Amino acid sequence: MRTDLFDYHLPEELIALRPVSPRDAARLLVVEPNAAEPLSDRMIGDLPELLSPGDALVFNDTKVIPAELAGTRERDGASAHVSVTLTDRIDANRWHALARPAKRLKPGDRIVFGEGGDVCLLGSLTATVEARGREGEVTLAFDFSDASLDQAIHRLGAMPLPPYIASRRAGDEQDRTDYQTLFARAEGAVAAPTAGLHFTERLMQALDARGISRHFVTLHVGPGTFLPVRSADTGGHVMHEETGTISAETAEALNAVKGKGGAIVAVGTTSLRLLESAADAHGRLAPFFGATNLFITPGYRFRFVDRLLTNFHLPRSTLFMLVAAFSGLETMKRAYAHAVEQRYRFYSYGDACLLSPGSGEGEPI
């Protein structure tokens, strides 16, 4: 499919730079393609009445690490400022990362993050560049390992805000709370599963009272979630790989919900991609542990997920392609045009949609 089919215009002022407070005060656009009124303006706090007793919400419990590190490259007595975003851990002391500007780095360079000296005393951390790729990716070998390295990263790192926020304001301590879900548990993500940011204890209690069960899976969100599709056709795009886990107990519980006629409601595209990766052709969910690079575009037949709660996504992104596959491309274009007209707040700190499948869902164009 042509990538330009997934384009739309968004006024810059609609990009949310901070979340609303409280979190469940965000707006919610309900999209029901087969209803007489396919679009309705609600609030996140209305979610319990928009779902039915016996339905199941599936959350991604990944936890964002403070993966942004600012440092100084040292080489032959010369220094230069660089910043890196850790992307995935290789072993006890090595990480893959994205560097900016990467042209300042070459294998063998030493980077000092922090103020110099031992991290426990003066707040610094040192790494050696082992390799550099063509697209800014580097392999870093740190002088610390295991728990000591984790402690240093947490002390020196900043939350890896999406580029559309980071380019307009600096990150701060508030982001360490704002850019983390209520139920974040398993460390490993460098981007938040943002649909989950809307949930508060109050909302969770209301969902419990309504008889809607909650279940947790883990998909460690990588930086590729923000990358645009650069090829002219979706067939030329290589999807980033992310690591996920669905326990046997969770798979069994969700299959039971499905068997009783309850709806499986994925909270976020990350939860949906993991569930669909683990479901077989007959719509039964299996335990899962490993990597997925599932790329969902119109033409995909959904096996397990019945509804999707998700934020608004970037033009030409894999995530906008996913929601177009779920509810229909024309439906989602109308939904986004409505959201722009009604001044919804977009992207990671913005408002949300509750999507139902369209009758033509999955049909390619």
Q: pLDDT of 304-335, one tens digit each?
A: 999 999 999 999 999 999 999 999 999 999 99
Query: How many C-beta neighbours within 10 Å does residue 108 have?
Result: 9
| 155: alpha, beta or left? (left if phi > 0; alpha if psi -120 to 50) | alpha
pLDDT class of 8 with cuts at 50, 70, 90: very high
Please give the domain boundaries of the chain with CATH numbers for all domains. 3-64+178-355 (3.40.1780.10), 68-157 (2.40.10.240)
Kindly report, residue by residue over 250-296, the tens digit of the pLDDT: 999 999 999 999 999 999 999 999 999 999 999 999 999 999 999 99
Q: Is residue 220 helix, strand or coil?
A: coil
Which pLDDT value is given to residue 32? 97
For 93-130, write each residue's pLDDT tens digit.
999 999 988 888 999 999 999 865 444 444 679 999 99
- Record the tokens describing residue 258, joined without a space: 């499905």
At 225 the pLDDT is 67
CA distance 270 to 225: 9
Residues 130-181: tens digit of each pLDDT: 999 887 889 999 999 899 999 999 999 999 999 899 999 988 999 999 999 9
In 3D space, the residue among 103, 267, 251, 140 whose CA is nearest the CA of residue 197 turns out to be 267
User: Binning pLDDT at 50, 70 and 90, where does residue 75 land?
Assistant: confident
Q: What is the pTM of this model?
A: 0.92
| Coil, strand or helix at 139 | strand
Element holding 31 (H helix, E strand): strand 27-31
Q: Please name every residue paired with 138 in a beta bridge, in sequence order, or none if there are none.
A: 97, 132
pLDDT of 355 over the 80 cut: yes
